[in-house]
Amino acid sequence: MIRKGDFVLLVGEDQKEFLVKVDYKEFSTHKGSVDLSRLVGKEYGICVETNKGVKYWVVRPVLADFLKRIKRLTQIIYPKDIGYIILKLGIGPGKKIIECGTGSGALTMAFAYYVRPFGRVYTYEVKEEFSKLAQDNLKRIGLDEWVTFRVSDAEKGFQEKEVDAVFIDVKYPERLIESVKKSLKIGASVGFLLPTTNQVSSLLKVIEKSGFVGAEVVEILLRRFKPNPERLRPDDMMIAHTGFLLFARKAKEDNQ
Ligand code: SAM
């Protein structure tokens, strides 16, 4: 049942979608306005009409809907990459994770969502302005409770030890390798997002010399289709490049 303060996704016949918080105000679309007070107490999936008679279906938003609309001041990690990162790092309830840098908080949002209710995300960001934005982004949807935002240069090291996974999305990841090693549990995974192949090559060399094993490099391509059953074909445009993902595991050094 829809309650006051819930987020709902309004899905139009023209595929346009709006993520809206249900309060007692009117929400204006390009095709008229919806009286949000009418939604309280109703079931998800109902259809409402704007004052101009245009239909919108009211559905329950998922994490991808929130990520799509995140306020950003930095480049962010996209849902297509986030899905694989979550699986590769074994993110789940109760896990303790380090992330660097926070940026706009897109990945932080996904980590926080999946470590609930017992886990915690420690996210490092050198620029206060970005950390504040990320905090606001998570607060808006109630996920900040599972995150410690640290405004700090990660090159000075991480405070947490024995963490279950680390993810690094900064310009010079090789400068953080020794800190990652000190904080990560033996056998646990580290992941990186790198925009260019040169950066992947440089990092691979450092990783191999630093006691990490099982390196994997992937690029994830997502091709959307126009959902027309009679003329099913890909969209004309796609996001062709976001970044390369590199994963590795911390080996036990003394082999005992
Ligand atoms: N993954 C983020 C997201 O999904 O929104 C985006 C991260 S953004 C591309 C990279 C961030 O790393 C920037 O905000 C930058 O200020 C931060 N950064 C770079 N070097 C850093 C360092 N040594 N310590 C902490 N943050 C750093």
Q: Which residues line ligand 1 (CB under 6 A)?
A: 74-77, 100-101, 103-107, 124-127, 130, 153-155, 169-171
Instruction: Give the residue extent of every domain in the chain.
Output: 7-61, 65-250
pLDDT, position 25: 83
pTM: 0.95
Q: Counting beta carbons within 10 angstroms of the beta carbon of residue 110, is it exposed (0 to 12), middle (13 to 18) or buried (19 or more)?
A: buried
92-108 pLDDT, tens digit per residue, is 999 999 999 999 999 99
Site to probe by mutation for ligand 1, drawn from 102, 166, 167 as the one with most ligand atoms within 8 Å of Cβ, is 102
CATH number belonging to domain 7-61: 3.10.330.20
186-209 pLDDT, tens digit per residue, is 999 999 999 999 999 999 999 989
3-state helix/strand/coil string of 179-212: HHHHHEEEEEEEEEEECCHHHHHHHHHHHHHCCE
20-68 pLDDT, tens digit per residue, is 999 878 888 888 899 998 899 999 999 999 999 999 999 999 999 999 9
Secondary structure (DSSP) of 3-41: -TT-EEEEEETTS-EEEEE-SSSEEEETTEEEEGGGGTT
Cis amide bond preceding 101, omega within 30: yes
pLDDT, position 13: 87
135 has pLDDT over 80: yes
List the residue whose alpha carbon is closest to atom 3 of ligand 1: 76
Residue 52's identity, in one-letter code, is K
Closest ligand 1 atom to 99 CA: 1
Site to probe by mutation for ligand 1, drawn from 69, 78, 126 as the one with most ligand atoms within 8 Å of Cβ, is 126
220-229 pLDDT, tens digit per residue, is 999 999 999 9
Closest ligand 1 atom to 155 CA: 23
Give the angle subtended at the CA of 85 by the CAs of 168 and 65, to the nearest 5°.
Answer: 105
87 φ, ψ (degrees, to nearest 5): -70, -45
List the residue whose alpha carbon is closest to atom 17 of ligand 1: 101
pLDDT, position 71: 97
| Residue carrying the six token digits 């970044």 | 243
Closest ligand 1 atom to 104 CA: 5
Best CATH choice for the domain 65-250 from the list 3.40.190.290, 3.40.50.1980, 1.20.120.80, 3.40.50.150? 3.40.50.150
- In contact, 32 and 10? CB cutoff 8 Å: no
78-95 pLDDT, tens digit per residue, is 999 999 999 999 999 999
12-21 pLDDT, tens digit per residue, is 988 899 999 9
Closest ligand 1 atom to 74 CA: 8
